[in-house]
Amino acid sequence: MTTAYQQLSATFQRLSRFGHLMAVAGWDMQTMMPAGGSQARGEALAEMGVLRHEILTDPRVGDLLKEAAQADLNDVERANLHEMQRAWQQASLLPASLVEAKSLAGSRCEHAWREQRPANDWQGFAANLKEVVRLSREEARLRAEANGTSRYDALLDLYEPGMTSAKLDETFGELKSWLPELLQRVVEKQAQEKTEQPQGPFAIAAQRELGLSVMETLGFDFRHGRLDVSAHPFCGGVPEDVRITTRYNQHEFLSALMGVIHETGHARYEQGLPQQWRNQPVGLARSTAIHESQSLFMEMQLGRSPEFLQRILPQVCEKLGAQPALNAENFVRLTQRVKPGFIRVDADELSYPAHVILRFEIERALIEGDIEVDDIPALWDEKMQQALGLDTRGNYRDGCMQDIHWTDGAFGYFPTYTLGAMYAAQLFQAVKKALPDLSERLQHGELQPVFDWLQQNIWQHGSRFPTGQLLINATGEALNPRYFRQHLEQRYLNR
């Protein structure tokens, strides 16, 4: 006779397998699918989403959760049960009709965005976004009423459990108190430095080969993943079959290369999740910010360090051709160049938080009903002017239409990017403490000790521990933003 916990495990294994199919279908939708397949694919994904929702919210699942809570479970099983309960509670708050409607609206908005963004068509985009926002507000209302939180906090909790707007206001407020001055000082400092730009064009095929070569250096398992192209770089798929994407520009190669390194960080996390807990909630990545910490650890902490850059420079020259600008000193300066720009995914470390905070403030106001979709462009320009001194009036393509997240209603997601940067800085500091000779190791291309540390302290634990506890276990303390500031000042001001 199977126990309640065993029955729940079987149910969540089934949900995981359906999720596997949805993940690969979603990847295909953004990379390979012909335009004419959009509506049918959107409907198929919505149908699958409803099916998963119905399975998860079956009253029997609730009964089994109560019964399993009384069982004698070990620590991992208890953690898995906690994640099951959370998933069930979150799903039970929404009717299937809303799940389907939101999926369909998101698919329509995202697919249309691919053509509307290049055309700078804000009016066309806004028409679709309004429906996504309407449904997201309804979701937020239902979740907030059940959980006793603000509407935005109810959505934020989906991505970063336990995080609140109040905590973000405090953390981001402190960041805003010193970052603008630091940004200005670094820009002024770098204005006195000569940096030579590499001369293209750089063939896309060669850039792809370079990306694959660096992925191999970073330990990506090609038996369980692949690299493709999409309009917006992302990491998708499942741990057994991780799909990462980038986008190429023949006139410069660094954005694609760094995008590949970033997404490889996500992929290594997925590939390193505990195999013995696969298909169970406890085997999933801990949170969105922890996931982002792994990509930013790989890109910003490791990938843009002088030691790593000098190590991969021969690969760059081999694939793209040697030239004067690709000497070691200039290559490091290129990748650490600070220049406020319009595009978030291409932003440097110092400018990036401003992009995130801008989006956080706008999307919170949008979900809370303080502003409407039509207010976004003017508010975007106002905040971009204040934060980075950039004018986005009329430039929707490089302004409020540049990201994909809002198209499918992923409100509450953006803050996790800067939280992830803070986590990454704190984790890298812990690695340096654990490996005092890290710089020398990196110079000799010895990356495995770093990956072993991540596997031991982050990857293998999946969702066994809450985010705060995972960070304490790994670094010895809770989130401490001073490591992020320390990292930036040391890298850009040599402090």
- Who wins on pLDDT, 436 or 345? 436
pLDDT attached to residue 232: 81
pLDDT at 231: 83
Q: Judge whether residue 6 has pLDDT over 90.
A: yes
**pLDDT digit string, tens, across residues 398-426:** 999 999 999 999 999 999 999 999 999 99
Q: Is pLDDT of 245 > 80?
A: yes
pLDDT at 495 over 80: no
Q: pLDDT tens digits, residue range 158-213?
A: 999 999 999 999 999 999 999 999 999 999 999 999 999 999 999 999 999 999 99
CATH code: domain 159-494 is: 1.10.1370.30
Structure tokens that stand for 429 in this block: 């500091």
pLDDT value of residue 345: 87
For the stretch 252-275, pLDDT in tens is: 999 999 999 999 999 999 999 999
Sequence-distant (6+) residues with CB within 8 A of 478 are 468, 471, 472
pLDDT score recorded for residue 152: 98
**So what's the pLDDT on residue 27?**
94
The CA R_g of the chain, rounded to the nearest whole Å, is 22
pLDDT of amino acid 483: 98
The Cα–Cα gap between 400 and 130 comes to 14
Report the share of the chain in percent with pLDDT over 70: 100
- Do the annotations mark residue 232 as ligand-binding? no
Is 115 among the catalytic positions?
Answer: no
Q: How far apart are CA 147 and CA 187, in angstroms?
A: 45
Chain centroid, CA 67 distance in Å: 36
Asked if pLDDT for residue 346 goes beyond 90, the answer is no
pLDDT of 1 > 80? The answer is no
* AA letter at 169: D
* 262 is known to lie in a ligand binding site: yes
Q: Is there a binding annotation on residue 53?
A: no
**pLDDT band for position 349 (cuts 50, 70, 90):** very high
CB 125 within 8 A of CB 116: yes
pTM of the model: 0.94
pLDDT in tens, 437-486: 999 999 999 999 999 999 999 999 999 999 999 999 999 999 999 999 99
Q: Choose, from 131, 263, 270, 349, the residue flagged as catalytic.
A: 263
